[in-house]
Structure 1
Amino acid sequence: MSTQNVTDVRPFSVAGGLANVTRVSIRSVAALLLLAVMWGLSIPVTKLGLQTLPPLTLTALRFAIAVPLLLAFAVGRHPLPWRALPRVAALGVLGIGVGQVAQTYGVSGTSASVGTIISATIPVFIVFFAAVRLKQHVSTTQKFGLVAAFAGIALVALGHGHGTTAISQTTAGGATCVLLSALAIAFYYVWSVELTTAYGTATVAAWSTLFGFIALLPWASWEMLHVPIHFTAHAVGAAVYLGVVVTVAGLFLWLSLLRIVPARVAASVQYLQPVVGIAAASTMFGDRLGPSFVAGVALVLAGLALTMTSRSKRT
């Protein structure tokens, strides 16, 4: 809910019910590449916004921009019955109050490169939670993928190397927060399967984001009163990018792609996001990547490939 996020939204829940599309046009490939760039820049842009805005304020500003747009898209779609409000509200608090806030705090305590690669494990955790909550089978290949991803996280977060600025800028607390965010966002996606099936993706995304934003406001207001805030052009631009491009445009571009390309092809965007994010972090912040970081990235991407390859056989 990223947003994913609705932060970085990658709703595997809708993939299972899609038509079996077999042809992929050049326009679809271009859209996938665009989406990888849009979502891949999420962590580096968050890092940019945090240079002058504290975490809760940046998160609140992001969703203050996104919520009206999501509600506008939800108008005229499936109505949300009163009995569903508690679950949708809890979903929003989990996705934004835990997932997005933890991500923003985590990014403030990690380099953009480290934050990017830890966040890239969200699809891996989706496989785990889908097995627990939705009783989906976890194959031996997926289990190897989970182990590889965890080993990669450990190398990225805890590794040290001479001249490796990406590691030296990272604290254990920051890496833990990003990992907590990945867990919360992954569970958000899995939990939303039941709700989006019943009430529609746009409706659930809009209302859950609204409830999460409302829950965040008191804490963000307290932060604004006690922490110095500087609304620079870079900070506001970062909030606009995260709210409009990552949260809203990314969601609807993803949903559109799932209707016209095979789910296994759409899922390939997962491999490109960390590459885009790390390249952007290196360019924007001068992150230098040492051997332990490179090895960790390789393990995380290998774990992601194993979990996604196994799933694609059933989509």
Structure 2
Amino acid sequence: MLLLALMWGVSIPITKLGLLSLPPLTLTALRFAIAVPLMFAFVLGRQRLPLRALPRLAALGLLGIGIGQVAQTFGVAGTSASVGTIISATIPIFVVMFAAARLRQPVSGLQMLGLAAAFAGIALVASGRGEAGTPSQTSLGGAALVLLSAVTIAFYYVWSVELTERYGMAPVAAWSTFFGFVALIPWAAWEIRQVPIEATAAGIGSAAYLGVVVTVAGLFLWIHLLRTVPARIAAGIQYLQPVVGVATASAMFGDALGLFFVLGVVLVLGGLALTVTTPRRREAPAAP
């Protein structure tokens, strides 16, 4: 769990590093060009999908990568790494919302309170961009794109639950990633023609880390955790990721943590804790 929190927690700062030399669409396309062959190495020859499943997986890939990951990359380009990390930490909160709407899972009063607290925290983190001592290089547009990414990726997770129950998580992840990558290719090709690109070691290394460690190794380690420990325990990494991300951003880019940012982090993490909490049912007393 600690290893996965470290792997995923530094993803936003690493994305920020890659964007210093590669434009957003190119960085995202390169990330998934590395990830797709590795993902299929675990799937081909082991599990087959019926043809009727492919249109849904194509739509899933367009949603999760074509919108979710692209919005995240553009959003990180318009925010500090610390702000992007905290806003991305709201993904589990939106998962609870969409699960309630699509999977008919109930939402308690505490979870609603957590949702409200998280939104208040996002507002504080984003509005603190102009305060002395708070994270710089953050625009409302960038924060909005990261938030759009969080919403989209959360819906991707909830929608994929239905497909993974039928076809397995690895095939769904591999094929949806493939279709999302294919949709990115023409846009990335257009960007390469329009924007001068300097392929530095930092840019290529960032794409490789995001593709190999975050996308592939992180996914299969997450699957292993879900099979090894209870889901409520595995979900504990959601609390560690923002801490790792903010600490890494501060070390790499010198992000200053102002009062609004600190208060926003407290509200977001508190809202996350309330939202992912599952109320325990009262058990009947044991028979004597």
Given candidates 45, 49, 62, the residue that maps to 1:93 is 62
TM-score under structure 1 length normalisation: 0.87
Aligned to 1:271: 239
Alignment of 1:133-282 (within 5 A): 133-160=102-129, 162-166=131-135, 168-282=136-250
Name the SS of the counterpart of 2:277 in structure 1: helix
Determine if contact 1:88/1:208 at 8 Å carries over to the other structure. Answer: yes
More moved, 155-164 vs 113-122: 155-164
C-alpha distance 238-75 of structure 1, shift in aligned 2 (>3 A):
same
How far apart in 1 are the matches of 2:114 and 2:279? 12
Is the Cα contact below 8 Å between 1:141 and 1:310 reproduced in 2?
A: no
Distance 1:164 1:239 in 2: 31
Question: CA 1:65–1:190 in 2, change beyond 3 Å: closer, same or farther?
Answer: same
TM-superposition CA deviations, 1:109-128 (whole Å, max 9, x none) = 00000000000000000000
Q: 1:262 Cα shift? A: 1.4
Residue type at the aligned position of 2:185: L
Q: CA RMSD in A?
A: 1.4
CA distance in 1, matches of 2:174, 2:198: 29
- Structure 2 partner of 1:39: 8
Bigger Rg, structure 1 or 2:
2
Q: Which runs of 5+ in 2 are unaligned?
A: 283-288
| Distance in structure 2 (CA, Å) of the matches to 1:134 and 1:81 | 24
Are the counterparts in 1 of residues 82 and 245 from structure 2 also a CA contact under 8 Å?
yes
Partner residue, 1:58 = 27
Deviations 1:116-170 (A, max 9, x none): 000000000000000111111011111011101101000001125643241x310
CA offset digits 1:150-193 (Å, max 9, x no partner): 01000001125643241x31001100100000000000000001
Residue deviations 1:52-110 (CA, integer Å, cap 9, x gap) = 10000000000000000001111233311111111000000000000000000000000
**Structure 1: which 5+ residue stretches go unaligned?**
1-31
CA distance in 2, matches of 1:280, 1:182: 20
Q: What secondary structure sits across from 1:79 in the alignment? A: coil
> 4+ residue stretches of structure 1 with deviation over 6 A?
311-314
Distance 2:46 2:103 in 1: 26
TM-score of the pair, normalised by structure 2:
0.96
Assess if the C-alpha contact under 8 Å between 1:263 and 1:312 holds in 2.
no
Matched residues in 1 for 2:11 and 2:261: separation? Answer: 20
> % of aligned pairs identical?
72
Q: Which residue of 2 aligns with 1:307?
A: 275
Letter in 2 for 1:137: P
Equivalent residue, structure 2, for 1:24: none
1:212 aligned partner, one-letter code = G
What is aligned with 2:266? 298
